Amino acid sequence: MTVSLTIVQCLTEYANNPLGIDVSRPRLFWRLESSDRSAAQAFYQIMVASSQELLEQGVADRWDSGRVASDQSIHIAYAGETLRSEQTYYWKVRVWDTHGEASAWSQTAYWSMGLLSRADWKAKWIGRKSEKGVDMQPPPYLRKSFQLTKAVKRAFVYATALGLYDLRLNGSRIGALFAPGWTDYETRVQVQAYEITDQLTVGENVFGAILGDGWYAGTVGFLGENVYGERPFLLLQARVEYFDGTSERIVSDSSWQAAKGAILYSDLIKGEAYDARLEPTGWDQSGYQAEVAWEVPDVRTGYNGLLVGTVEPPVRIMQVLKPVSFRRTEAGTFIYDMGQNMVGWTELTVSGVAGHQVTVSHAEMLNPDGSLYLDNLRVAVQQDHYVLKGIGEERYEPHFTFHGFRYVELIGYPGEPDLATIAGKVVHSDMAETGRLETNDSMVNRLHANITWGQRGNFLSVPTDCPQRDERLGWTGDAQIFARTAAYNMNVSRFFSKYMQDILDCQQPSGAFTDVAPDAGWIRHKMWNANLNWFAPDNAGWGDAGVIIPWTLYVMYGDTRILETNYKAMADWVNYLRDNSEDYVRPDYANYGDWLSIDADTPKEVLATAYFAYSTQLLAKIAGVLGRKDDQIQYETLFAAIAQAFRDAFVGSDGRIHGETQAVYVLSLQFNLLTDEQNKLAIEYLTTDIRTRGDRLSTGFLGVGYLLPALTEHRKLDVAYTLLTQEEFPSWMYSIKHGATTIWERWDGWTEHKGFQTPSMNSFNHYSLGSVGEWMFRYMAGIEADPAAPGFKHTIIRPRPGGSLDRVKASYDSLYGTIEVAWHLSASSSVFRIEVTIPVNSTATIYVPGRVYAIDGVKGTSGSWEIEGCQPLESTEDESCFKLGAGRYIFESDLLAVQASV
Ligand code: BGC
């Protein structure tokens, strides 16, 4: 028997060899490959050791799982001895297939623990006193020169800031952008760990750090500055281990030096000013001869928040875009078109005389006269100012700010620029792109691209509503409606796990989840006001993110720990809703309704009651997953009571639902609130409304996510496709027809008749209305996670061909491997052909539309095939159904049957 399984990727806590974690039982993952059909794991053995050498010798001094009978290859919790501060743990795994054949051992993977207790920290928070009378403070530069006398065996540095830090060692940058990320700093700050063994030398070494105000002290949302603190501080501790067994520490303290440098100011929302003449050249390297006066840093005490390991993925420059065109304006400025609405900044190349200033201004759109459309930025200033030092070719990019833009204007550029003068740096949290989707319709492809660009533009440490105006907040409603789409597009496991922590940190003692997380100041300042319908801690569809996001992570990644960790918080939320409703009906105060719907106002109490029911039903399922039987029954009963109350209060005897908007019908259908009879009526009323509007939608942020799923599941696939490809206003394709490269905040952000919407709220990069991406993967391509075997342990493949699409190719990188679907409908005949790939150690059920007549090229009829890995299941008139093991399969079917029925 040949060995069938190869282990190709070992992850710890979803990450590749993470450093400085603080999870007491880290979860281990591996991915398997095989060329055999139905290949699966039957046993595993994990070994964990305190050094690579021991592990190689087969000595598992930390944990040996022994040979465990299990097909589980993701989320195996470490169960060895207690993990200790600053230790590195090396691990490997081997598996046995279902025939009992053992694989080779995997490559060694590792993780390291951070500083687990406060007592482990010897470092002090250091910063620089504010300059008097200066409105926007210059970012502090901090440095420490230190000598090493012996060769280094291994060295790590742990760093964080209240604010942002840009860390350098011996002249090179270390670590992520916008570190330590945004958290509610009063409660916690994330610590990053980096290995620096190779960067250290015997002799003089220098740590340098520049601190930015960031979310901590800079402008946040529209509440102004200093939401968490007045000015930034750094905390850094390095540990250097020598070959002779000794070690030493370098810590931030009053022995460091502080000064201001070339950055005059740098604010997330107000841009940056930089005077290159002031650069303290060589300040972060050995041999530096100080030209400026360095001071003793300001040491701060009394930070009582938690210092936690970093959960979120690092923010990085993820791509670089070249402009597609540029032109000179009458005023002598130059306006560039990047060809894509993007988020990050512009790198500028310039030569000129010392002291000359160039301003780089950014906007998403152009006014009709060709100038930058800046009105929608509110008080944000998307401008960076660069003052030349006047030596040769100078390159500049800003430090602690980012902009949302497609157009770039160079003001004061000396000489003639060209297309190579600027480059667009695309910056976001580094999440692997997991979903790919392509069809024969270029506009549908563009829609998918626009949705993905919306995610790139708004997933920067936290999921934000928009990246350009003075807002950029972690609105929970936007995040929840987009969460499943986001999870198809990219691996958001760590990103959303961290965001759940932000949501929890904001949860009110009452149990209410807030509409924004992390808190942008208004919780602490009690800025919400029930009469204002604004900043409320319990908005329907917003607060529910606290239940929907963990559930989404469970379904997409099989993560039960996120359910366990958040269980109490979720139950508190549902209990809060229950205690603040009357006879199970939620009041109509304080919620945003179906935000930015179009000529269709969904009554707030209807929407709020529907979401109350939905969260309760999810909680019942979650209780079931966690084996909390009593809770499950309790919340199932509660759900039934809410649904009954919903019907009594809002559904007429003719089946019409109060408000009669598309949103009330789709939410009622998708949240299981109606009787079978009422479902039939609801889908009729829904489609009639769509038809009377000329085949148009009217849903806002919340309704839109369920619109095409509701139509598809209730046999109105044709209507779903009509809406998807509708090009008239309001529709997705309307924006694309008019040049959109991202998803707009509003259906009517710009129209032919009215031009731009009111500038006070008109973002061109909001992902919420892009939640249709979920439908495209789940229904159009047909790749769906089965909640009964989550994380794509069992995948449901159920493509829904329709509309004018004749070809859809999609893939999704699950934790088990890549799931592929490529279907094709031949125009001349009714032949439907689908190729699918199911990853090793997972299974699938495929529903092929029509009657399958060939599998892998072998003709036959149901029951007559003997195809390895493929087992016929009971089929219906519309669909042929098979159970699949891992492998690649091709099905061909005759579609006439299904065409007749839709
Ligand atoms: C944000 C939205 C958010 C909404 C709440 C807006 O200002 O941009 O995305 O969900 O407020 O209604």
Q: What is the pLDDT of residues 598-640, one digit of tens each?
A: 999 999 999 999 999 999 999 999 999 999 999 999 999 999 9
* Mean local confidence (pLDDT), 540-548: 97
What CA dihedral angle connects 451, 456, 460 and 465, to 10 degrees? -30
Measured in Å, residue 474 CA sits from the centre of ligand 1 at: 9
Measured in Å, residue 701 CA sits from the centre of ligand 1 at: 9
What is the rounded CA–CA span in Å between residue 432 and residue 491? 5
Residues facing 166 on adjacent strands: 210
- Residues 228, 217: contact at Cβ < 8 Å? yes
Residue 445 sits in the same domain as residue 371: no
Question: Atom 12 in ligand 1: which residue has the minimum CA distance?
Answer: 592
What's the longest Cα–Cα distance across the chain? 86
pLDDT band of 527, cuts 50, 70, 90: low
Tell me the per-residue pLDDT of 216-264, one tens digit each, with 9 for 90 and over. Answer: 999 998 777 888 999 999 999 999 999 999 999 999 999 999 999 999 9
Measured in Å, residue 530 CA sits from the centre of ligand 1 at: 16
What is the rounded CA–CA span in Å between residue 103 and residue 76? 18
Residue 209 CB coordination number (10 Å): 26
Whether 279 is a known active-site residue: answer no
Residues facing 428 on adjacent strands: 316
Strand, coil or helix: what is 497?
A: helix
730 prior amide bond cis, ω within 30: yes
Counting from 1 in the atom list of ligand 1, the atom nearest the Cα of 465 is 9
Tell me the per-residue pLDDT of 644-674, one tens digit each, with 9 for 90 and over. Answer: 999 999 999 999 999 999 999 999 999 999 9
What is the rounded CA–CA span in Å between residue 319 and residue 337? 17
What is the rounded CA–CA span in Å between residue 536 and residue 529? 7
Q: Is the pLDDT of residue 471 over 70?
A: yes
What is the rounded CA–CA span in Å between residue 32 and residue 792? 14
pTM over the 0.85 mark: yes
Counting from 1 in the atom list of ligand 1, the atom nearest the Cα of 466 is 8
Residue 194 sits in the same domain as residue 330: no
346 within domain boundaries: yes
Q: What confidence score (pLDDT) does residue 902 get? A: 47
Phi-psi region of 64 (alpha: psi -120 to 50; beta: other; left: phi over 0): beta
Residue 811 sits in the same domain as residue 881: yes
Strand, coil or helix: what is 607?
A: helix
Question: Atom 4 in ligand 1: which residue has the minimum CA distance?
Answer: 475
Task: Report CA-CA distances (Å) from 262 to 1, 214, 259, 883.
Answer: 67, 17, 10, 64
846 within domain boundaries: yes
563 within domain boundaries: yes
- For strands 164-169 and 325-328, give the pairing: unpaired
Question: Atom 3 in ligand 1: which residue has the minimum CA distance?
Answer: 475
Q: Which two tokens stand for residue 454?
A: 């919306």
Q: What confidence score (pLDDT) does residue 901 get? A: 46
Residues facing 334 on adjacent strands: 328, 410
**Mutational pocket test of ligand 1: of 476, 595, 758, 768, the residue with most ligand atoms within 8 Å of the beta carbon:** 595
Q: What confidence score (pLDDT) does residue 862 get? A: 72
Buried b (16+ CB within 10 A) or exposed e, 424-447: bbbbbbbbeebbbbbbebeebebb
- Residues 851, 880: contact at Cβ < 8 Å? yes
Mark which of 749, 781, 813 sits at the end of a domain.
Answer: 781
Measured in Å, residue 768 CA sits from the centre of ligand 1 at: 10
Q: Which of 144, 113, 114 is nearest to 126 (CA)?
A: 144
C-alpha distance across the termini of the chain, in Å = 48
**Among 7-21, 122-136, 527-541, 833-847, which stretch is predicted with the lowest mean pLDDT?**
527-541
- Residues 625, 720: contact at Cβ < 8 Å? no
What is the rounded CA–CA span in Å between residue 619 and residue 616? 5
Tell me the per-residue pLDDT of 803-828, one tens digit each, with 9 for 90 and over. Answer: 999 999 999 999 999 999 999 998 77
Counting from 1 in the atom list of ligand 1, the atom nearest the Cα of 763 is 8
Question: Atom 11 in ligand 1: which residue has the minimum CA distance?
Answer: 475
Measured in Å, residue 47 CA sits from the centre of ligand 1 at: 48
Measured in Å, residue 518 CA sits from the centre of ligand 1 at: 14
* Mean local confidence (pLDDT), 375-385: 96
Q: Within its chain, how far is the Cα of 753 from the centroid?
A: 35
Q: What confidence score (pLDDT) does residue 535 get? A: 63
Q: Is the pLDDT of residue 568 over 70?
A: yes
Q: Contacts by 708-713 with C-beta closer than 8 Å and gap 24+?
A: 708/772, 708/775, 708/779, 709/666, 709/670, 709/774, 709/775, 709/778, 709/779, 710/665, 710/666, 710/669, 710/670, 710/683, 710/686, 711/683, 711/686, 711/687, 712/775, 712/779, 712/800, 713/669, 713/670
Residue range(s) defining the domain that contains residue 425: 316-429
Counting from 1 in the atom list of ligand 1, the atom nearest the Cα of 761 is 7
Measured in Å, residue 748 CA sits from the centre of ligand 1 at: 16
Q: 276 — phi, psi (to 5°)? A: -65, -20
619 within domain boundaries: yes
Residues facing 436 on adjacent strands: 811
Q: What confidence score (pLDDT) does residue 899 get? A: 55
- What average pLDDT is seen over the chain? 95
**Mutational pocket test of ligand 1: of 592, 607, 757, the residue with most ligand atoms within 8 Å of the beta carbon:** 592
From 272, 364, 745, 784, active-site residue: 745
In the DSSP assignment, the letter for residue 514 is P
Q: What confidence score (pLDDT) does residue 226 get? A: 87
- Residues 682, 652: contact at Cβ < 8 Å? no
**Mutational pocket test of ligand 1: of 223, 458, 465, 767, the residue with most ligand atoms within 8 Å of the beta carbon:** 465
In the DSSP assignment, the letter for residue 828 is S
Question: Atom 9 in ligand 1: which residue has the minimum CA distance?
Answer: 465
State the angle between helix axes of 662-670 and 604-625 in degrees (0 to 180), rounded to the nearest 10: 20
Counting from 1 in the atom list of ligand 1, the atom nearest the Cα of 476 is 10
What CA dihedral angle connects 834, 840, 843 and 847, to 10 degrees? 0
* Mean local confidence (pLDDT), 270-297: 94
**Mutational pocket test of ligand 1: of 475, 527, 591, the residue with most ligand atoms within 8 Å of the beta carbon:** 475
- Residues 590, 536: contact at Cβ < 8 Å? yes
* Mean local confidence (pLDDT), 518-530: 68
- Residues 895, 849: contact at Cβ < 8 Å? yes
What is the rounded CA–CA span in Å between residue 137 and residue 229? 13
What is the rounded CA–CA span in Å between residue 661 and residue 666? 9
Q: Which of 155, 169, 152, 158 is nearest to 123 (CA)?
A: 158
Q: Is the pLDDT of residue 529 over 60?
A: no
Residue 545 sits in the same domain as residue 519: yes
Measured in Å, residue 465 CA sits from the centre of ligand 1 at: 7
Q: Which sign, positive or negative, has the C-alpha torsion 514, 516, 520, 525? A: negative
- Residues 91, 18: contact at Cβ < 8 Å? no
Q: What confidence score (pLDDT) does residue 302 get? A: 87
Counting from 1 in the atom list of ligand 1, the atom nearest the Cα of 475 is 10
Mark which of 262, 290, 311 sits at the end of a domain.
Answer: 311
Residue 777 sits in the same domain as residue 822: no
1 within domain boundaries: no
Q: What confidence score (pLDDT) does residue 900 get? A: 46
Q: Is the pLDDT of residue 499 over 50?
A: yes
Residue pointed to by tokens 């370098």: 250
What is the rounded CA–CA span in Å between residue 877 and residue 900? 10
560 within domain boundaries: yes
Q: What is the CATH number of the domain that holds 10?
A: 2.60.40.10
Whether 471 is a known active-site residue: answer yes
Helix boundaries (H) for 714-842: 717-725, 732-737, 772-775
Question: Atom 6 in ligand 1: which residue has the minimum CA distance?
Answer: 465
- For strands 843-849 and 41-49, give the pairing: unpaired
Residue 265 sits in the same domain as residue 291: yes
What is the rounded CA–CA span in Å between residue 327 and residue 279? 32
* Mean local confidence (pLDDT), 304-315: 97
Residue pointed to by tokens 């809770």: 631
Q: Is the pLDDT of residue 534 over 60?
A: no
Tell me the per-residue pLDDT of 780-803, one tens digit each, with 9 for 90 and over. Answer: 999 999 999 999 999 999 999 999
- Residues 402, 345: contact at Cβ < 8 Å? yes
**Residue 263: enclosing H or E segment and its boundaries?**
strand 263-267
What CA dihedral angle connects 695, 701, 703 and 704, to 10 degrees? 50
What is the rounded CA–CA span in Å between residue 40 and residue 221? 49
Q: Is the pLDDT of residue 119 over 60?
A: yes
How many domains in the chain? 5
Q: What is the CATH number of the domain that holds 845?
A: 2.60.420.10
What is the rounded CA–CA span in Å between residue 117 and residue 119? 5
Residue 337 sits in the same domain as residue 304: no
Q: Residue 718 class from Cβ within 10 Å (0-12 exposed, 13-18 middle, 19+ buried)?
A: middle
Residue pointed to by tokens 């046995």: 96
* Mean local confidence (pLDDT), 145-171: 98
Q: What is the CATH number of the domain that holds 218?
A: 2.60.120.260
pLDDT band of 861, cuts 50, 70, 90: confident
Q: Which two tokens stand for residue 784?
A: 């769906």
Residue 30 sits in the same domain as residue 70: yes
What is the rounded CA–CA span in Å between residue 902 and residue 531? 47
Q: What is the CATH number of the domain that holds 622?
A: 1.50.10.10
* Mean local confidence (pLDDT), 167-192: 97
Counting from 1 in the atom list of ligand 1, the atom nearest the Cα of 542 is 10
Q: Which two tokens stand for residue 532?
A: 């204002």
Question: Which residues contact ligand 1 via a Cβ below 6 A?
Answer: 465-466, 471, 475, 477-478, 592, 595, 766
- Residues 421, 475: contact at Cβ < 8 Å? no
In the DSSP assignment, the letter for residue 774 is H
826 within domain boundaries: yes
Question: Atom 8 in ligand 1: which residue has the minimum CA distance?
Answer: 465
Q: Is the pLDDT of residue 193 over 80?
A: yes
Residue 667 sits in the same domain as residue 653: yes
Mark which of 744, 762, 781 sits at the end of a domain.
Answer: 781
- Residues 366, 376: contact at Cβ < 8 Å? no
Residue 492 sits in the same domain as residue 600: yes
Three-state secondary structure of 831-844: EEEEEEEECCCCEE
**Among 26-35, 257-266, 717-726, 874-883, which stretch is predicted with the lowest mean pLDDT?**
874-883
From 13, 471, 820, 879, active-site residue: 471
Task: Write out the E strands in 24-75.
Answer: 27-33, 41-49, 63-64, 68-69
Cα angle vertex 330, ends 325, 332, to 5°? 75
Measured in Å, residue 475 CA sits from the centre of ligand 1 at: 7
Residue 665 sits in the same domain as residue 691: yes
671 within domain boundaries: yes
Residue 505 sits in the same domain as residue 605: yes
Q: Residue 185 class from Cβ within 10 Å (0-12 exposed, 13-18 middle, 19+ buried)?
A: buried
- Residues 459, 486: contact at Cβ < 8 Å? yes
**Residue 11: enclosing H or E segment and its boundaries?**
strand 6-12
Three-state secondary structure of 444-486: HHHHHHHHHHHHHHHEECEECCCCCCCCCCCEHHHHHHHHHHH
Measured in Å, residue 466 CA sits from the centre of ligand 1 at: 9
* Mean local confidence (pLDDT), 854-861: 93
Q: What confidence score (pLDDT) does residue 863 get? A: 74
Residue 533 CB coordination number (10 Å): 16
pLDDT band of 736, cuts 50, 70, 90: very high
pLDDT band of 520, cuts 50, 70, 90: confident
Question: Atom 5 in ligand 1: which residue has the minimum CA distance?
Answer: 592
